[in-house]
Amino acid sequence: MAADAGDDDKALERIIAVRAREYRQAAGASVGGMAQRVGISKAMLSKIENAQTACSLTTLSRLARGLGVPVTALFRGMNDEREAVFVPAGHGARIVRRGTRIGHEYALLGALRGSNKRMEALEVTLTESSEVFPLFQHGGTELIYMLDGVMVYGHGKSSYTLGAGDALQFDGEAPHGPEKLITLPIRFLTVTAFGDTPHH
């Protein structure tokens, strides 16, 4: 039985090693840079990534925080678990974006990060009319789904009038953003899927 327990321990260490390396590389960070961010030595992080040490819960928590992932993400692949994010109605974390100062409200509905993918979902509420709107540019593909109100949304050189039930999907590299708010309040979901390289 002891041998089986040891094998299980080693399997867990190997899973954590693979995930820690994957998430660090996805973040574009060196071993030294990530170790500094996490608050552990470069040697310790190297041992973790090579399955040469068993992490304490405190170290795991700090590592997950430094990598920007939930602790459970470091165990992904153990017993074939898969990540999921559940956000109860009205509990999306309020975040600040460039549009916040002109009456745009952003609620983070969830974000999943993996070695080769990242997805972010936001609920956006526009309550104030403005003559100036921020333009956004980022990697990945974005989907907007209108819930309430009417607005004109620009993407590159094109403009689209969006009302409740309308959807618009586009490449985030082109400048995009609201051009005109027609019927307030405006509420829409925006889901952005990033490719191999995470964008912030």
pLDDT in tens, 128-178: 776 567 788 888 889 999 999 999 999 999 999 999 999 999 998 899 999
Is the omega angle on the peptide bond into residue 185 within 30 degrees of 0, that is, cis? yes
By the 8 A CB rule, do 74 and 20 touch?
A: yes
Any idea which residue has 């952005």 for tokens? Answer: 192
Instruction: Lowest mean pLDDT of 16-25, 107-116, 155-164, name the range.
Output: 107-116
pLDDT at 198 over 60: no
Tell me the average pLDDT across 37-45: 92
Query: Minimum mean pLDDT among 3-7, 24-28, 39-43, 172-176: which range?
Result: 3-7
How far apart are the C-alpha atoms of 65 and 43, rounded to whole Å? 19
pLDDT tens, residue by residue, 48-61: 999 898 888 889 98
Q: Would the pLDDT of 13 be above 70? A: yes
What is the mean pLDDT of the segment spanning 39-53?
91
Alpha-carbon radius of gyration of the chain: 21
Architecture of the CATH domain 93-193: Sandwich (2.60)
For the chain, domain boundaries? 1-75, 93-193
Burial class, 142, CB count within 10 angstroms (exposed 0-12 / middle 13-18 / buried 19+): buried
Q: What is the pTM of this model?
A: 0.51
pLDDT of 43 higher than 50: yes
Give the integer Cα–Cα distance in Å for 108 and 117.
18
* pLDDT, the chain, mean: 80
Q: What percent of the chain has pLDDT over 70?
A: 74
Angstrom distances, CA of residue 180 to CA of 124, 126, 131, 183: 15, 11, 8, 9
The pLDDT, as a whole number, for residue 103 is: 58
Is the CB of residue 22 less than 8 Å from the CB of residue 63?
no
Superfamily of segment(s) 1-75:
lambda repressor-like DNA-binding domains (1.10.260.40)
The rounded percent of the chain whose pLDDT value lies above 90 is 33
